[in-house]
Structure 1
Amino acid sequence: MTDSTATPEDWNKLSRAVPEWFQNAPFGIFIHWGAYSVPAWAEPIGALGTIEDHEWFTHNPYAEWYYNTIRIDGSPAQQHHREVFGGEDYDAFLDQWKAEQFDPADWAELFKFAGADYVVPTTKHHDGIALWDAPGTGERNTVHRGPRRDLIGEIARAVDDKGLKLGLYYSGGLDWHVRPFPPHVTSESVHDTSRPKDAGYAEYAYNHVVDLVDKYQPDVLWNDIEWPDAGKHFGEHGLGTLFEHFYSINPQGVVNDRWGATHKDYATSEYEAARENESESEWENCRGIGFSFGYNQVEGPEQSLTGRQLARHLTDVVSRGGHFLLNVGPRADGTIPEIQRQALTGLGEWMATAKQYLVGARPLQDGMAASSEDPWIRWVDRGTEAVAFVDSPGGGTEAAIKLDAGRFSLSQAVAEGAGGTVEATGDGLNVTLLPDRPGPAIIRVPKA
């Protein structure tokens, strides 16, 4: 079967119920680690989806896009690259990337403490450098150069040892090394006019992902950008064949939606971009602790979310029916920057109590209770009870929640953890927020 004969009906045959483990996995950890972690430089101008194309690409806040940004004439990244690195070839960073302090067990322990259910490391980003001995890459991978280690294999084993699910990110849509194009300066060039679409690249990417599936047996395949058009079929080296192989190896596996108009198990949004996908039945929002995925030494506390802010973001996503994939960007030496470690630790302190109320939670039926911004309130449905997550963005200590006493047993509402206390009033609940709470107060309200 060729590209021209793969119909929507062919792709629809891959449709299946989303496995229970993923439905009950509210929180994942993304890892962007690569040769770009050596320069570790970008302008932290803001979040994807809030900045127009020209400014975004010329001043790209994604440090993992360094190879693209330094090729844009007049960009501050190009000037930085000349001043600091003498304009040297990007691949020099692969040899300078040593990962000498990389401790995968420590990473997995931190992710587990933070409350993660699954972990998704990048196996090959747009720079084309593979973090395992990928077929067809010669020595341009981390086994033969730089760290001289199978980084994906080490992460996979550490994640499995902690009982977490493994996802694998792969850039099927772009590879600036094997298919060089002029630097991207528009979203159209990324997603259409300057991405590889040919059969040769489709075979190259197919062989990579099949190798990842066979070697590491992931639970999630997380493709990025697109898939080469000439490979969108069910024949030899076809994407449909790849999906069938993945599901045969792992019947409980899931794939995201960034494979072009083919097949998906769930949709994705990124920071503020593609928010329309958050209306689908299964979706995931991804973002970094700051504005970059790869480690950016320029970012500080003013660009970074705290553990308490992460707790609110996670709760907001789950209250709307989504999953949250939070990125960690390690340094080139393999250490996790302290600002990121503190955020994950702070989140974990809250998740020690909160996670049990997020796993398996569903959005509360419209009309039962309302979310609000001040006081900050999000609701989830736990079957026999509703759970409110309550915070005060203005620093106040009191939050009034109006509820219909006919639909809830207000007198039986209880506060869990160290976030606050609750008492029933005539028309709802009054929550007293404790000053040192690690995240939103958790209020359980039985249904009547």
Structure 2
Amino acid sequence: MRENDTWDALPQRLPDWFRDAPLGIFIHWGPYSVPAWAEPTAELGAIESDLGWFAHNPYAEWYFNTSRIEGSPAREHHRKVHGDAPYDDFLDQWDPSAFDPAAWAELFRRAGADYVVPTTKHHDGITLWDAPGTGDRNTVRRGPRRDLVGEIARATTDAGLRFGVYYSGGLDWHVRPTEPLVSGEDVGDLKRPRDDEYGTYCSAHMRDLIDRYQPDVFWNDIGWPDENFHFEAGGLGELLEHFYSQRPEGLINDRFAGAHQDFVTTEYQAGEIPEDQPWENCRGIGLSFGYNQVEDESQYMSGAQAVRHVVDAVSKGGRVLLNVGPRADGTLPELQVAVLEALGEFMAEHKAQLAGSRGLGELEIPGARWARAVEQDGTCSVFLSGPQGDLAIGAADLPEGYDWPAGGVTVELAGEDAAPVAVSARRTDDRR
């Protein structure tokens, strides 16, 4: 039973570092990076019904589930290419011989990120560190034979970035196996584990991650087993108390089935932006989080699109957790690197305008296809994209209470395929 007064006694946090962070980097890397295959269908949220979504799931990290759905393209691919091999064969085949965590962290820093959140256990149940109770089913004992979480954590903090952890508390297809999940109802209700024993297993993993790697973000996924919603030993309540006590600037997301949260998450196009709450949008550079060898430029964001996505989120009071999906060997796909480098060029010039700003949302400016605004210390920064050429903007195009230094300004737009340009206006009244 959830005791509201006890849960409500947990801290509610928005630390300065997170409030001021426009961008974080998500990393989905696991045995699924060996087959690296999914059907590139559509972004999550772009299809109204989930009927058929799971059989045609574009998420490569869901390969174990999708490849077991009879009639799915992934099922046919698994039979044809991998001979119906057991999923754990991919763990043994996983050889990250080209993995350079310091190079990753440096790229993320150049991209303008403030925090990095790698997967530590996805729904396949394989942990990227020697997690308690996993036996040899982890990356230290098999496959890579490396503590990948520890290596990423050290490189991240050495680069001056905050470190967080993703953990799948709601699903574990090895410890709590089920028939393939084929609907949202399966995931959220019918086929998810609810028992306290599984919750205690997850809690021991997370406590180990907290004590070993000192994460500042606890990013849970797919909920948490209902019977573990308690403050006794091994319960979720005790775990969160431990996290908050050990990490004074740490915070958690909203994927604990309503138990507690510090910020709200949306994913691709799914989810609603909350009012007056901190929030974060997560998405891949392509349609998948895990590396998908089928994807090409037609599924990937361009650098300019990634820039607009980040600016759009910040203009609406949020931030972006942008995912990279490394290949099994530890290299980052060139198209993903190019997007991060383009983000870095933009952020090197404009991050100071975004970090810690107050979002002013979308603007309707004639001649511009896209316009967003933020304010910081009385300065309104307007970011614009549109057809290449000069664009004159008057005071009437600004939010109420702002004006250009000379009553108007002319900007040179670089074209719709280029990153937005920025111009600044000043507040003309005393409102804050």
Give TM class, smaller chain: over 0.9
Distance 1:148 1:445 in 2: 55
C-alpha deviations, 1:291-328, integer Å up to 9, x for none? 00000000000000011110000000000000100000
Q: Aligned match of 1:231 in 220, 228, 251?
A: 228
Distance 1:178 1:80 in 2: 25
What residue number does 1:302 align with? 298
1:361 counterpart = 2:353: no
Q: Aligned match of 1:443 in 423, 427, 432?
A: 423
C-alpha displacement at 1:437, in angstroms? 8.8
Distance 1:107 1:371 in 2: 39
1:92 counterpart = 2:89: yes
C-alpha displacement at 1:362, in angstroms? 1.0
8 Å CA contact 1:257–1:268 kept in 2: the answer is yes
**CA 221–17 in structure 1, closer or farther in 2 if over 3 Å, else same:** closer
What residue number does 2:180 align with? 183
Q: Aligned match of 2:385 in 386, 391, 412?
A: 391
C-alpha displacement at 1:49, in angstroms? 1.0
Q: Aligned match of 1:321 in 317, 341, 348?
A: 317
8 Å CA contact 2:385–2:414 kept in 1: the answer is no
**CA 371–434 in structure 1, closer or farther in 2 if over 3 Å, else same:** closer
What residue number does 2:41 align with? 45
**CA 365–329 in structure 1, closer or farther in 2 if over 3 Å, else same:** closer
1:196 counterpart = 2:193: yes
Distance 2:70 2:392 in 1: 55
1:139 counterpart = 2:136: yes
> Structure 1: which 5+ runs fail to align?
413-423
What pairs up with 1:100-249 in 2 under 5 angstroms?
A: 100-249=97-246
1:336 counterpart = 2:332: yes
What residue number does 1:23 align with? 19
Letter of the 1:60 partner, please give it.
N
Distance 1:226 1:50 in 2: 23
Tell me the secondary structure at the aligned position of residue 51 of structure 2.
helix
**CA 127–20 in structure 1, closer or farther in 2 if over 3 Å, else same:** same
Q: Aligned match of 1:55 in 49, 52, 66?
A: 52
C-alpha displacement at 1:407, in angstroms? 3.3
Tell me how large the CA RMSD over aligned residues is.
1.8
What residue number does 2:70 align with? 73
1:403 counterpart = 2:383: no
What residue number does 1:420 align with? none
TM-score, with structure 1 as normaliser: 0.92
Distance 2:195 2:243 in 1: 23
**CA 66–227 in structure 1, closer or farther in 2 if over 3 Å, else same:** same
Moved more, 307-316 or 45-54: 45-54
1:375 counterpart = 2:369: yes
Distance 2:126 2:352 in 1: 38
What residue number does 1:11 align with? 7
Percent identical among aligned pairs is: 55
**CA 373–172 in structure 1, closer or farther in 2 if over 3 Å, else same:** farther
Distance 2:416 2:206 in 1: 46
C-alpha displacement at 1:195, in angstroms? 0.6
C-alpha deviations, 1:344-403, integer Å up to 9, x for none? 11111111101111100111289xx657894311000112110000111xx332334342
C-alpha displacement at 1:444, in angstroms? 1.3
**CA 231–121 in structure 1, closer or farther in 2 if over 3 Å, else same:** same
What residue number does 1:418 align with? none
8 Å CA contact 1:15–1:263 kept in 2: the answer is no
Letter of the 2:79 partner, please give it.
R
8 Å CA contact 1:268–1:278 kept in 2: the answer is no
Distance 1:80 1:233 in 2: 43
C-alpha deviations, 1:83-140, integer Å up to 9, x for none? 0000000000000001010000000010001000000000000000000000000000
**CA 435–45 in structure 1, closer or farther in 2 if over 3 Å, else same:** closer
8 Å CA contact 1:375–1:399 kept in 2: the answer is no
What pairs up with 1:240-279 in 2 under 5 angstroms?
A: 240-274=237-271, 276-279=272-275
C-alpha displacement at 1:281, in angstroms? 1.3
8 Å CA contact 1:278–1:284 kept in 2: the answer is no
TM-score, with structure 2 as normaliser: 0.95
Distance 2:189 2:35 in 1: 28
**CA 437–301 in structure 1, closer or farther in 2 if over 3 Å, else same:** closer
C-alpha displacement at 1:53, in angstroms? 1.5
8 Å CA contact 2:38–2:59 kept in 1: the answer is yes
Letter of the 1:321 partner, please give it.
G
**CA 220–372 in structure 1, closer or farther in 2 if over 3 Å, else same:** farther
Moved more, 47-56 or 78-87: 47-56
8 Å CA contact 2:130–2:140 kept in 1: the answer is yes
**CA 193–444 in structure 1, closer or farther in 2 if over 3 Å, else same:** same
Distance 2:38 2:367 in 1: 32
> Structure 2: which 5+ runs fail to align?
none
Distance 2:288 2:179 in 1: 23
**CA 382–373 in structure 1, closer or farther in 2 if over 3 Å, else same:** farther
Distance 2:191 2:68 in 1: 15
Distance 2:60 2:413 in 1: 38
